[in-house]
Structure 1
Amino acid sequence: MATTIPIPIPTILCPPPFHKPPVPMTLGEAPLYRLSDSTLHWVDPLISPPELHILPIHPLTGVPLGPSRTLQLSDSVSVFYFRKNVKGSYIWAYYAGIAYMDEETGKLEVLREIIGNMRMRKAVAFGLGGPPETYGKPRGRLWMYDPDGSLHQMFEGVVCGNGIDWSPDNKTFYLNDSVGQMVYAFDFDLEQGSISNQTTLVDFHGTEGEPDGMVVDTDGNLWIAVYGTNRVMVFDPSGKKIKELVFSGNRLTCPTWGGVNHDILFISSAKGGEGLDGKADEGGNMFNYKVMDGPKGKAEHEFAG
């Protein structure tokens, strides 16, 4: 019988952090690039008070063009999107629910409070996961908030709902359950905004990492920040791992596409102690990786409300 020799997965060593805040972030999260003024936005929800950071970025190289602006927030925010029709305004998933926020003042306009002791993620669809003291119990839910103000529960039974994204044709919806260590795929009906036929795309059980934030490229590959490792892992639409990016921080949290050509991957991270292999850990800073060939990213969704 012939022996099948496994083909090594490409592993790419990536550059050190491209941006270091004066103090490493407790939990850098939810980076989002805005093309209109080439700025990168992200939050640190666990520092007191929580912070929003806005950094001017060169649209071709991803290099910072100046210092970041920091805005102190009135509540802990886990993720946000830009509002399509309102300049300088975000829709937020904050600790208790959903709100708009003004970029200049930091003022929250609460839209819906859902359950006060749970943590929300992502619009247009929001994944709701429990805080750390409830981890291990699948109480999290996935919500959809429509521009008309209606709220719909789409899925339940998540331990810690995290990264979400859609396939390029909008026919498949992906959801990461970080503490549950699963990546799920669903059929997605764009007209109805509904999901069905849940399947497990990637199972991280037996590994040291948790699937955290995620983005999809133009070929439908999933780029997943794996918390507890120093890697962004890339999986094809069938769930096969095809590439790994290696960074100098072992608590990577969330990637986003940016740059005028959507060819720069920006990654947030959380600070930690000693790094992997005994080397100094550079978590709590911002990383990037420029795609030189192959599929690139796609623009992030904006909220229509």
Structure 2
Amino acid sequence: MNANQYQIKNVLAARSRLGEGPVWDSTHQLLYWVDIYNHRVNQFNPATGQNLFFNVGDVVGSIALAGTDRLIMAQRDGLTFLNLQTGEVSPIIPVEANMPDNRFNDGKCDPQGRFWFGSMSAGKNQASLYRYDLDGSLDKMETGLTISNGLGWSPDERTFYLTDSPQQKIYAYKFDPLTGNISDRRTFVDLTNESFYPDGLTVDSQGNIWSAMWDGWCVICFNPQGKETLRINLPVQRPTSCTFGGKDLQTLYITTASIGLSEKEIQKSFYSGDLFAVLTDITGLPTYNYRNFVA
């Protein structure tokens, strides 16, 4: 792979505060993504360039497809459903409601359709990772995190990846597809010598991990052994997450943020908060949906 062969396109001048959590809907060829602090779930149509949004009334950290015309959302302190026909938000279950300094952040469904989502804490090591199962039960899967972020699964469904951004590390766990259990955590990527932080990630069909680098002006691709193989430089300081989409799953969509940048930094990073797309020669994995479609 050669980064120079990839053309970076600004597909939406969104100017979002904290764009995050892109999810590709292959059925309708749409990209859903969130603007966390503007309380928006966005629906972007690459064919027309049109972006619609739903105001969901509070912080929304992550989303996943959950049946016909519905998303599951990790909001500030719990899970909710969003009806895409009416815009109605309905509560599912409160989580960490007794921890006002925490909020929920990145989330994603595993290949079996369980929704994984993690929190972020103002204090160190006070955030956790949760798994919401198909029967509506909730399990705490990891503790001692600060910003639970960037998660994904290997193509063979035997490895689970999880990022703790302030620690500047991406971890790998053994994953049991049948039970959904994780074990034997190891450091997969260590960026503690860098000046930037790993944020959201996606995994491609060859098992490579693509991680957006907050304050790094780039997305870095790591092979299944954790070695950097490609760096796509971007015209913005704060890439936040990425996912593969398009009819052939070869377009890498990248969300970005403008929050926290000084006026001087904004001048250097004018397109911060916009949505970018990179046409690659790599095929991504399909988006996994939440499988419990009972309201």
Shared fold by TM > 0.5? yes
1:128 aligns with 2:118: yes
Determine the C-alpha separation between the residues in 1 that align with 2:120 and 2:160: 21
Q: How does 1:7-156 map to 2 (within 5 A)?
A: 10-12=2-4, 14-21=7-14, 24-47=15-38, 50-58=39-47, 65-83=48-66, 86-116=67-97, 117=100, 118-120=102-104, 121-123=106-108, 124-131=114-121, 133-134=122-123, 137-156=124-143
**Which is richer in strand?**
2
Q: Is the alpha carbon distance of 1:127 and 1:72 closer, same or farther for their aligned partners in structure 2, counting shifts above 3 Å?
A: closer
Which residue in the other structure is 1:222 paired with?
209
Percent identity (aligned)? 28
For residue 212 of structure 1, report the CA deviation from its aligned partner: 0.5
For residue 255 of structure 1, report the CA deviation from its aligned partner: 0.1
1:302 aligns with 2:289: yes
For residue 128 of structure 1, report the CA deviation from its aligned partner: 2.4
Contact 2:13 2:271 in 1 (8 A): no
Which residue in the other structure is 1:284 paired with?
273
Q: Is the alpha carbon distance of 1:193 and 1:280 closer, same or farther for their aligned partners in structure 2, counting shifts above 3 Å?
A: closer
Partner deviation per Cα, 1:252-272 (whole Å, 9 max, x = no partner): 001011011100000000014
- Stretches of structure 2 lacking an aligned partner (at least 5 in a row): 109-113
Contact 1:231 1:245 in 2 (8 A): yes
Partner deviation per Cα, 1:194-223 (whole Å, 9 max, x = no partner): 001100001111211111000011110000
Q: State the aligned residue count.
A: 279
- Stretches of structure 1 lacking an aligned partner (at least 5 in a row): 1-8, 59-64
Determine the C-alpha separation between the residues in 2 that align with 1:243 and 1:66: 28
For residue 173 of structure 1, report the CA deviation from its aligned partner: 0.3
Which residue in the other structure is 2:200 paired with?
213
Determine the C-alpha separation between the residues in 2 that align with 1:77 and 1:269: 15
Secondary structure of the 2:201 match is strand
Q: Is the alpha carbon distance of 1:66 and 1:140 closer, same or farther for their aligned partners in structure 2, counting shifts above 3 Å?
A: same
Which residue in the other structure is 2:232 paired with?
245
For residue 181 of structure 1, report the CA deviation from its aligned partner: 1.0
Among 158, 161, 186, the alignment partner of 2:148 is 161
For residue 20 of structure 1, report the CA deviation from its aligned partner: 0.6
Determine the C-alpha separation between the residues in 2 that align with 1:14 and 1:206: 29
For residue 104 of structure 1, report the CA deviation from its aligned partner: 2.8
Secondary structure of the 1:46 match is helix
Determine the C-alpha separation between the residues in 1 that align with 2:117 and 2:164: 9
Secondary structure of the 1:179 match is helix
Q: Is the alpha carbon distance of 1:196 and 1:20 closer, same or farther for their aligned partners in structure 2, counting shifts above 3 Å?
A: same
Q: Is the alpha carbon distance of 1:280 and 1:200 closer, same or farther for their aligned partners in structure 2, counting shifts above 3 Å?
A: closer
For residue 10 of structure 1, report the CA deviation from its aligned partner: 4.8
Q: Which amino acid aligns with 2:55?
A: Q
1:179 aligns with 2:170: no
Determine the C-alpha separation between the residues in 2 that align with 1:98 and 1:32: 17
Contact 1:233 1:243 in 2 (8 A): yes
For residue 14 of structure 1, report the CA deviation from its aligned partner: 4.3
Which residue in the other structure is 1:270 paired with?
257
For residue 106 of structure 1, report the CA deviation from its aligned partner: 2.5
Contact 1:14 1:245 in 2 (8 A): no
Q: Which amino acid aligns with 1:159?
A: T
For residue 107 of structure 1, report the CA deviation from its aligned partner: 2.0
RMSD of equivalent CA atoms: 1.8
Contact 1:29 1:78 in 2 (8 A): yes
Q: Which amino acid aligns with 1:68?
A: N
Q: Is the alpha carbon distance of 1:111 and 1:93 closer, same or farther for their aligned partners in structure 2, counting shifts above 3 Å?
A: same
